Amino acid sequence: MNWSTLVTKQKMMRIVLLALLPVALMSVYLFGWRHVVMGLVVALAGAVAEYLVMRTIQKEKTKVSEAVFVSAALFTLSLPPHTPMWIAVVGMVFGIVFGKAAFGGYGRNIFNPALVGRCFIYIAFPAQMTMEWAQPFAGLPGGFAHWLPQAVADVTASVTPIITLNAGGPAAPFGSLFLGTIAGSLGETSALLILLGGVFLVYKKVASWEIMVSTVGSAGILSAALYLAGVTPVSPVFTLLSGGLLFGAVFMATDPVSAPRDKTTQWLYGALIGIVTVVIRTFSLFTEGMMFAILIVNALTPLLEMKVKQWKAKAPKKEVAA
């Protein structure tokens, strides 16, 4: 059976997968090969879920969008290394069914499906999603010679830099945060590789640089203001390099379906995501706010687009000289 008879080809989605490849390889080096298998299982589960639901809705020949494989990759890379595979499958199926198919399929969803699934299992299985962090491999060959870091009970367990800092521990060195040799979710540790992926996406005109810059810029400015005011001990550099902020800004917030298309709205959209992320990190019990911030602003996007459109319609027109 031909691949094209089963899957709707989307060149843009293949470019995103290519941009994610260095991040995925880094996650293998840090945490072993297990997540590759988990990603394949998650992708299969997502594709089957999308096909079955859309088949029920459309009642005709249905194809799976290649976007489901991007959602699966992003979802998998956002998970802790020791996430049980059955929880990953549950999250992916939930995200595809309720975050995408329920709105009518690809191109109609207002929420990022990968984040819908991630948010669901984060709330439903908090122990597995927040308590089990393993020390990443170091040196050569690192995780390339291993399946997964040993069970948490048998290894010196590690926690993420944000959790360590919130517990009164020392801040992780900026060099480790930038390169990614730290504990954390599978694909969210290396700021360097995430930024390189973002440059590639912008070069290929697949993702909006306006959203990336406004998200990171607003988060940095608000974080700096809170730091200088003595509200938080977290420096703006640590805020930007830690957790899933950069990964979310580059790969999640720029989702072509759930993100706005108007340039002015993109600046507002990104600014709100950065602000909400810092507010959640600073004033709530949650150590990571990027996931919630993107979903919250996803819900506001139609309203933002409408208001910006109305504002532009009311704005005085510049007279063109004869």
Convert the pLDDT of each residue in 130-153 to its tens digit.
777 778 888 889 889 888 876 443
| Mean per-residue pLDDT of the chain | 86
Rounded CA separation 236/82 (Å): 29
Beta bridge partners of 41: none
SS3 (DSSP) at 8: strand
Above 70 in pLDDT, residue 301? yes
Rounded CA separation 200/103 (Å): 30
pLDDT at 45: 96
* Average pLDDT of the residues in 246-268: 94
Above 70 in pLDDT, residue 316? yes
Above 90 in pLDDT, residue 94? yes
Residue 268: which pLDDT band, with cuts at 50, 70 and 90? Answer: very high
* Continuous segment of H or E residues that includes residue 1: none
Reported as a single tens digit per residue, the pLDDT across 12-42 is 999 999 999 999 999 999 999 999 999 999 9
Contacting residues for 41 by C-beta, under 8 A, at least 6 apart = 85, 88, 89
pLDDT at 152: 47
Above 80 in pLDDT, residue 7? no
CA distances from 181 to 29, 33, 145, 190, 192 (A): 10, 17, 17, 7, 11
62 with 85: CB under 8 angstroms? no
Above 70 in pLDDT, residue 124? yes
- Cα angle 232-178-235, degrees, rounded to a multiple of 5: 15
Above 50 in pLDDT, residue 100? yes
The pairing of strands 64-65 and 7-8 is: parallel
320 with 195: CB under 8 angstroms? no
pLDDT at 202: 96
What is the longest distance spanned by two Cα atoms in the chain?
79
Rounded CA separation 81/144 (Å): 14
Higher confidence at residue 288 or residue 248?
A: 248
Reported as a single tens digit per residue, the pLDDT across 151-196 is 443 334 456 666 666 655 566 677 778 888 888 889 888 999 999 9
Reported as a single tens digit per residue, the pLDDT across 54-81 is 888 766 567 788 899 999 999 999 999 8
Higher confidence at residue 36 or residue 103?
A: 36
Above 70 in pLDDT, residue 53? yes
